[in-house]
């Protein structure tokens, strides 16, 4: 058989914008998500794992970042000609799942979901095309109590994950109040709700940028428009000075207490029926949260929170971390938002024609994990296994027996299965972050002993060691009876975990 011409080797690379997660990156994320979903589960929320692949028509055009260019999904055509795509969030699939299975689901349906989502966007530093989301939503309840429940549950989840009270703040607002303000400002007419839609979209996104642009920047966007530092011009909403004043009054309506804020909002929405409804909902939510002991030190009414997403129809909420971290250049900065959500009543209607009230929150998994690491709430280095070295290649059975004994005692352990001398084996153990190495050469075997070594102490020297004899000369190494292996390794691990070296 003639040999084919040898093809060039494939490149061993993740695709652009994708990455792999190793060891503690996987287990720490899993531990954090377990803490969060434990709270969701305790609140009666059920897990849902929808398929990663959806039809393009089911996903619809609800991508959350309306400002971002090249927004999109990874899509392809199936063999039956239909277009399929990877989900870009966990909310659009929930709407599809609820519409598909609504006769079998409890009503209201509370569910949580955890999993990767995919965005066909230009990757950037720290921005990947696959990332995790963790959502909780209640579908089928229009009650402000459902919004209050989500806000309270979010606070409990953040605290259960390791964010201390005082280190986070959930800010709460209501789109109906904003709509009331739009009415008062003359850019929303209840008799013709489609009119001025474009201007309202600009107002919404302008307010959402308050943190970044400041008051003057927002005012410019409410009026004629704004040229940014790069020279790019963003068209404004075209509001007059009086109109803009009403909107800016809304943004600055936060007062010392929720009651005062609500009173101020009632003034601002004037005669708007929808606006009054929104204020009333905020009052109900605040009262329910107060009853749970979740006061303004944890959850506060803040009209400057609007969230840019077009589909929200009522309450909106956002959790930010209030402590500072150092950025990559060592400058302190506020950590910022780690979760957000709100009420949306239109997503299921797309499928069924019937409005189904829904409210829910999404946690930015990677951001929260980074925050917990920054606060030292994650065990910095996950414990590697005890490494049983393989001095004598013919006695692997003996070494496996030692590892099995350690495991039976609940101690993570493995036998070195590669090639190389003791120095190489200890370098391996070092790379594994092994706390302890076990060694049993022929001499030790004959005398019924083994050597155990505290690698946390000895790792720095390991690179220079080539023979068993050198190795024995190091500190933090003990010769112990073989029969005491488990007890002595356990004691050494306890010393290593203690505050001082034993």
In the set 35, 201, 351, 461, which binds a second copy (CB under 8 A)?
A: 351
In the set 67, 145, 295, 494, which binds a second copy (CB under 8 A)?
A: 145
Name the token pair of 314.
């009522």
Select from 138, 126, 56 the least CA-distant residue to 314.
138
35 sits near a second copy (criterion: CB under 8 A): no
Which lies closer to a second copy via its Cβ, residue 49 or residue 479? 49
Q: How far is the CB of 250 from a second copy (least distance, A)?
A: 25
User: φ and ψ at 405, to 5 degrees?
Assistant: -60, -45
Which lies closer to a second copy via its Cβ, residue 58 or residue 316? 58
Name the token pair of 194.
């489609």
Distance CA 429, CA 386 (A): 8
Q: Which of positions 331-350 make contact with a second copy (CB under 8 A)?
A: 350
Q: Which of positions 356-395 make contact with a second copy (CB under 8 A)?
A: 384-385, 387
Q: Which of positions 267-286 make contact with a second copy (CB under 8 A)?
A: none
In the set 5, 80, 271, 380, which binds a second copy (CB under 8 A)?
A: 80
Residue 412 Cα to chain centre, angstroms: 29
287: which residues sit within 8 A by CB, 6+ positions away?
Answer: none
160 sits near a second copy (criterion: CB under 8 A): no
For the window 224-253, what string marks contact with a second copy as x by the rule CB under 8 A? Answer: ------------------------------
For the window 85-124, what string marks contact with a second copy as x by the rule CB under 8 A? Answer: -----------xx-xxx----xxx-x-----x-x-x----
323 sits near a second copy (criterion: CB under 8 A): no
Q: How many CA atoms lie within 13 A of 465 on its CB side?
A: 21
Q: Which stretch binds a second copy (CB under 8 A): 69-77, 205-213, 236-244, 442-450?
A: 69-77
Binding site feature residues: 89-91, 119, 133, 137, 307, 311-312
Distance CA 480, CA 34 (A): 40
Q: Which long-range contacts (CB under 8 A, 24 or more apart) does 182-187 make?
A: 182/247, 183/269, 183/270, 183/271, 183/272, 183/274, 183/275, 184/246, 184/268, 184/269, 184/270, 184/271, 184/272, 184/275, 185/239, 185/243, 185/244, 185/246, 185/247, 186/243, 187/237, 187/239, 187/243
Distance CA 235, CA 227 (A): 9
Name the token pair of 140.
């089928």
Distance CA 339, CA 135 (A): 9
Binding site feature residues for L-histidine: 89-91, 119, 133, 137, 307, 311-312
Q: How far is the CB of 249 from a second copy (least distance, A)?
A: 28
18 sits near a second copy (criterion: CB under 8 A): yes
Which lies closer to a second copy via its Cβ, residue 320 or residue 345? 345
10 Å CB burial of residue 396 (0-12, 13-18, 19+) is middle
Number of residues counted as binding a second copy (CB under 8 A):
98
Q: What is the DSSP letter of 124?
A: B
For the window 288-307, what string marks contact with a second copy as x by the rule CB under 8 A? Answer: x--xx---------------
In the set 400, 456, 478, 484, which binds a second copy (CB under 8 A)?
A: 400
In the set 322, 352, 379, 421, which binds a second copy (CB under 8 A)?
A: 352
Q: What is the DSSP letter of 393?
A: G
In the set 31, 35, 74, 474, which binds a second copy (CB under 8 A)?
A: 74
Angle, CA of 44, 45 and 50, to the nearest 5°: 155
For the window 39-58, what string marks contact with a second copy as x by the rule CB under 8 A? Answer: --xxxx-xxxxxxxxxx-xx
Tally the residues of the chain.
Answer: 502
Q: Which stretch binds a second copy (CB under 8 A): 18-26, 183-191, 207-215, 246-254?
A: 18-26
179 contacts 188 by C-beta, under 8 angstroms: yes
Q: Which of positions 444-483 make contact with a second copy (CB under 8 A)?
A: none
331 contacts 300 by C-beta, under 8 angstroms: no
Which lies closer to a second copy via its Cβ, residue 117 or residue 246? 117
In the set 127, 190, 197, 260, which binds a second copy (CB under 8 A)?
A: 197
Q: Which stretch binds a second copy (CB under 8 A): 232-240, 317-325, 337-345, 400-408?
A: 400-408
Q: Which stretch binds a second copy (CB under 8 A): 74-82, 226-234, 318-326, 456-464?
A: 74-82
In the set 125, 314, 364, 413, which binds a second copy (CB under 8 A)?
A: 413
432 sits near a second copy (criterion: CB under 8 A): yes
Report the SS3 class of residue 214: helix
């Amino acid at each position: 058989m003639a040999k084919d011409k040898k093809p060039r080797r494939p490149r061993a690379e993740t695709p652009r914008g994708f990455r792999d997660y190793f060891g503690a990156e996987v287990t720490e994320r899993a531990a954090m998500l377990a803490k969060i979903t434990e709270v969701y589960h305790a609140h009666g929320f059920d897990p849902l794992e929808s398929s990663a692949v959806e039809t393009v028509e089911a996903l619809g055009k609800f991508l959350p970042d309306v400002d971002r260019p090249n927004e999109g999904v990874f899509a392809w055509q199936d063999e039956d000609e239909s277009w399929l795509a990877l989900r870009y969030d966990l909310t659009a699939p929930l709407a599809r799942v609820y519409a598909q299975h609504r006769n079998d689901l409890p009503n209201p349906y509370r569910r949580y979901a955890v999993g990767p989502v995919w965005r066909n966007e230009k990757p950037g530093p720290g921005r990947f095309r696959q990332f995790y989301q963790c959502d909780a939503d209640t579908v089928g309840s229009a009650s402000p109590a459902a919004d209050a429940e989500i806000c309270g549950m979010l606070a409990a989840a953040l605290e259960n994950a390791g964010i201390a009270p005082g280190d986070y703040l959930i800010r709460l607002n209501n789109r109906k109040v904003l709509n009331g303000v739009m009415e008062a400002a003359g850019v929303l007419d209840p008799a013709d709700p489609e009119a001025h839609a474009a201007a309202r979209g600009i107002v919404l996104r302008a307010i959402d940028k308050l943190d970044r642009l400041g008051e003057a920047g927002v005012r410019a966007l409410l009026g004629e428009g704004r040229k940014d530092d790069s020279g790019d011009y963003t068209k404004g909403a075209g509001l007059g000075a009086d109109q803009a004043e009403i909107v800016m009054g809304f943004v600055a309506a936060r007062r010392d207490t929720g009651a005062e804020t609500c009173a101020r909002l009632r003034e601002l929405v004037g005669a708007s029926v929808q606006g009054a409804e929104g204020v009333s909902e905020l009052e109900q939510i605040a009262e329910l949260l107060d009853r749970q002991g979740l006061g303004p030190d944890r959850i506060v009414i803040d009209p400057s929170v609007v969230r840019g997403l077009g589909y929200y129809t009522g309450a909106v909420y956002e959790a930010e971390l209030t402590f500072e971290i150092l950025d990559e250049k060592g400058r302190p900065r506020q950590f910022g938002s780690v979760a957000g959500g709100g009420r949306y009543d239109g997503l299921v209607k797309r499928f069924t024609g019937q409005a189904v009230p829904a409210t829910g929150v999404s946690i930015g998994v990677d951001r929260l994990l980074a925050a917990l690491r920054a606060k030292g709430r994650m065990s910095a280095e996950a414990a590697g296994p005890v490494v049983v070295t393989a001095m004598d290649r013919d006695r692997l059975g003996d070494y496996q027996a030692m590892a099995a004994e350690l495991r039976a005692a609940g101690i993570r352990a493995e036998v070195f299965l590669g090639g190389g001398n003791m120095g190489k084996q200890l370098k391996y153990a070092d790379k594994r972050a092994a706390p302890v190495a076990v060694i049993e050469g022929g001499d030790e075997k004959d005398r019924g002993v083994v050597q155990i070594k505290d690698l946390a102490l000895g790792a720095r020297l390991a690179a220079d060691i080539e023979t068993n004899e050198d190795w024995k000369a190091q500190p933090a190494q003990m010769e112990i009876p073989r029969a005491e292996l488990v007890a002595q390794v356990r004691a050494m691990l306890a010393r290593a975990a203690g505050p001082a070296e034993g």
